Amino acid sequence: MADLLTAARMRAIENAAIKAGSVTGAQLMESAGECVLAAILARWPGMAAAPHRALVLCGPGNNGGDGFVVARLLRGRGWTVALFLAGDADRLPPDARANHDRWDGAVTPYEDTAFAREAGPLGPQDLILDALFGTGLTRPVDGFEAFRAAAQRGGGRPKVVAVDVPSGLCSDSGRVLHREGAPAEPPVRADLTVSFHAEKQGHRLADGPDACGAIQVAPIGLPPRADIAAEDSPVTLNERPEAFDKGEGAHKYAHGHAIVLSGPPGTGGAARLAARGALRIGAGLVSVCCEDAAVPEHAARLDAVMIKRANGADGLARLLEDSRLNALCLGPGLGQGARDLVPVALKAGRATVLDADALTAFAGDPGALFGLLHENAVLTPHAGEFGRVFPDIAERLAATPDHGPAFSKIDAVREAAKHAGCTILLKGPDTVIAAPDGRCTVNSAHYDRAAPWLATAGTGDVLAGFVTGLLAQGMEAFDAARIAAWLHVEAARRFGPGLISEDLPEALPACLRDLAAAP
Ligand SMILES: NC(=O)C1=CN([C@@H]2O[C@H](COP(=O)(O)OP(=O)(O)OC[C@H]3O[C@@H](n4cnc5c(N)ncnc54)[C@H](O)[C@@H]3O)[C@@H](O)[C@H]2O)[C@@H](O)CC1
Ligand SMILES: Nc1ncnc2c1ncn2[C@@H]1O[C@H](COP(=O)(O)OP(=O)(O)O)[C@@H](O)[C@H]1O
Ligand SMILES: [K+]
């Protein structure tokens, strides 16, 4: 799995390599500039075929230094380059200053009118390079109105390429740094962002993907995995998982018996969706468990999924005396009964997914839940449910990010997992999954894995079922959550436009087949 870095970790990696003598800062900067140029030419062959015009905006730090390198290289290819510097040349850090000195064109101090004048005639074959701020951004970017205007998406504009990070975006959180009351609009909407060594967390979170446009990571001569002590385990991008096997010849009970609890009559659809998901992902048996009154409704709709009866908390406790029932899912369509049923389920010590109503039931008294949770539990909230269970953490995440590094969705979920003592999966296009031991991964439905069709009712219920089905097969909680989340997006992408939640379990077999076939 590829790591997603914070700015601090990236700096530590660079410093360690420089200290070890394997590379110099100047070499890294040259290499960064070369990589940006190569990425541009590879993406737009017209720009490789003939020189065009470029407008390069350099900032006061090393991101600006990269800009000077790209400007020089473009000029060397015959391009007409106008370079603007925001900041004082005498205060550039040493490597950036050296590249400033190597630039033999004009350096125009940034000013809106002059920038707008240069940007006006640029066409789609031309380029604006954003080398204003990178991982060193610490406060909101003020001004730069002409640059902002030129770097918003619209017909016929030049290509906009961001060096490392679109300026104004916090590279740890993917949030736009801004003052209270000011708009949180990304200042730059790039067509391409070229980053170095490894992706930064912000490329995958919050506003990051929209601002980046597309992301390309270039190696710049740093060792593949830094030989430095990590404060905690690195955050990874949740990539294609290893295949998991059903194992030939095993009895169906060897793959577990998952139970999905359902609520009163008329609200059983969500539980059935979860149950179908659990069955398709490979649980040996799956039962919907409901009160007597809801049996006819489920019986009319279920075949491979079985039905078990349990009335209220006592009924559930009696049912769970059967030790073969090894994974539970509570929440989808569970309704008011959730508050009484969740403690019984958690006390039974089974692998347990809590979603939707099972989380909302503890709004106002989340402390009552924390005493019961265990390491085989997985909470799968969306943002609203997360706020009900972790109001303090959600409040920090909702606060205006007016300085960097801003509190991120990764920070929030890690803290929540540690506090709750179980795996947390916080949903969204940028789903973050964390375990109490510090493991954390981002399941990113962005770029070449965009899956906007998941934004439809009931897909979260199916996800809860996927996790439950993997738990039933004996998978550890964090692994079950990350593999389920990956397959969820994979199934959605495979089905594509027109997807409704019922399609997800049916799209799964092809995904599992591919997983088993791939090396
Ligand atoms: N350090 C290295 O060895 C390498 C760094 N590289 C580049 O260096 C960048 C990081 O450089 P820096 O750490 O110098 O940081 P940046 O260049 O991102 O920006 C830091 C500068 O901007 C100022 N600043 C921050 N927020 C501001 C705001 N809102 N308004 C005005 N000024 C603001 C800071 O005071 C500082 O002077 C990376 O993103 C990458 O592009 C690459 O050259 C690869 C190698
Ligand atoms: N734009 C999007 N791109 C990718 N995935 C998304 C998007 N919007 C929502 N999702 C995913 O869809 C699911 C929605 O779940 P949830 O909010 O619980 O809805 P429901 O309760 O209707 O099932 C989550 O897995 C979430 O990560
Ligand atoms: K930038």
Give the lowest-confidence range in 241-255, 355-369, 460-474: 241-255
Q: What is the pTM of this model?
A: 0.97
Phi first, then psi, for residue 132 (nearest 5°) are -80, -60
Measured from the CB, is residue 69 less than 6 Å from ligand 1? no
Measured from the CB, is residue 356 less than 6 Å from ligand 1? no
Is position 87 annotated in a ligand binding site? no
Of 382, 449, 501, best ligand 2 pocket probe by most atoms within 8 Å of the beta carbon = 382
- ipTM value of the model? 0.96
Tens digit of each residue's pLDDT (9 = 90 or more) over 479-511: 999 999 999 999 999 999 999 999 999 999 999
| Distance, CA of 12 to CA of 230 (rounded, Å) | 10
Class of domain 252-517: alpha beta
Task: Identify the CA nearest to 418 among candidates 433, 437, 431.
Answer: 437
Is position 267 annotated in a ligand binding site? no
| Distance, CA of 450 to CA of 390 (rounded, Å) | 28
Tens digit of each residue's pLDDT (9 = 90 or more) over 281-292: 999 999 999 999
Tell me what pLDDT residue 244 has.
85
| Range list for CATH 3.40.1190.20 in the chain | 252-517
Tens digit of each residue's pLDDT (9 = 90 or more) over 171-196: 999 999 999 999 888 889 999 999 99
Measured from the CB, is residue 360 less than 6 Å from ligand 2? no
Residue 226 pLDDT more than 80? Answer: no
Report angle CA 45, 131, 30 to the nearest 5 degrees. Answer: 75
Half-sphere exposure of 501 (CA within 13 A, CB side): 22
Can you tell me which atom of ligand 2 is nearest the CA of 380?
Answer: 18
Residue 230 pLDDT more than 60? Answer: no
Of 6, 30, 62, best ligand 1 pocket probe by most atoms within 8 Å of the beta carbon = 62
Band of the pLDDT at 449, cuts 50, 70, 90? very high
Residue 139 in tokens: 């406060």
Tens digit of each residue's pLDDT (9 = 90 or more) over 398-440: 999 999 999 999 999 999 999 999 999 999 999 999 999 999 9
| Distance, CA of 314 to CA of 318 (rounded, Å) | 6
Which CB contacts under 8 angstroms, 24+ apart, belong to 239-244? Answer: 239/1, 239/2, 239/486, 240/486, 240/515, 240/518, 241/482, 241/483, 241/486, 241/487, 241/515, 243/515, 243/516, 243/518, 244/282, 244/470, 244/473, 244/475, 244/483, 244/515
Residue 265 near residue 288 (C-beta atoms within 8 A): no
Q: Which residue has the higher pLDDT, 249 or 447?
A: 447
Tell me what pLDDT residue 232 has.
63
| Distance, CA of 425 to CA of 433 (rounded, Å) | 4
| Range list for CATH 3.40.50.10260 in the chain | 3-231
Is position 173 annotated in a ligand binding site? no
Tens digit of each residue's pLDDT (9 = 90 or more) over 16-70: 999 999 999 999 999 999 999 999 999 999 999 999 999 999 999 999 999 999 9
28 CA to centre of own chain = 28
Determine how many CB atoms are found less than 10 A away from the CB of residue 8.
12
Measured from the CB, is residue 14 less than 6 Å from ligand 2? no
Tell me what pLDDT residue 250 has.
75
Q: Could you tell me the distance, in angstroms and rounded to a whole number, from the CA of residue 200 to the centre of ligand 1?
A: 14
User: What is the average pLDDT value for the chain, to the nearest integer?
Assistant: 96
Tell me what pLDDT residue 197 has.
96
Tell me what pLDDT residue 233 has.
79
Band of the pLDDT at 231, cuts 50, 70, 90? low
CA distances from 200 to 13, 123, 240, 451 (A): 13, 30, 19, 21
Measured from the CB, is residue 139 less than 6 Å from ligand 1? yes
Is position 461 annotated in a ligand binding site? yes
Q: Could you tell me the distance, in angstroms and rounded to a whole number, from the CA of residue 334 to the centre of ligand 2?
A: 19
Residue 369 pLDDT more than 90? Answer: yes
| Distance, CA of 413 to CA of 406 (rounded, Å) | 14
- CATH code for the structural domain at 3-231: 3.40.50.10260
| Distance, CA of 465 to CA of 286 (rounded, Å) | 10
Tell me what pLDDT residue 224 has.
77
Measured from the CB, is residue 134 less than 6 Å from ligand 1? yes
Tell me what pLDDT residue 129 has.
98
Residue 203 in tokens: 């490329």
Tell me what pLDDT residue 251 has.
78
| Distance, CA of 324 to CA of 193 (rounded, Å) | 51
Going by CA atoms, what residue is nearest to atom 43 of ligand 1?
Answer: 29
Tell me what pLDDT residue 152 has.
86
Residue 383 pLDDT more than 70? Answer: yes
| Distance, CA of 478 to CA of 464 (rounded, Å) | 13
Measured from the CB, is residue 463 less than 6 Å from ligand 2? yes
Q: Could you tell me the distance, in angstroms and rounded to a whole number, from the CA of residue 518 to the centre of ligand 1?
A: 41
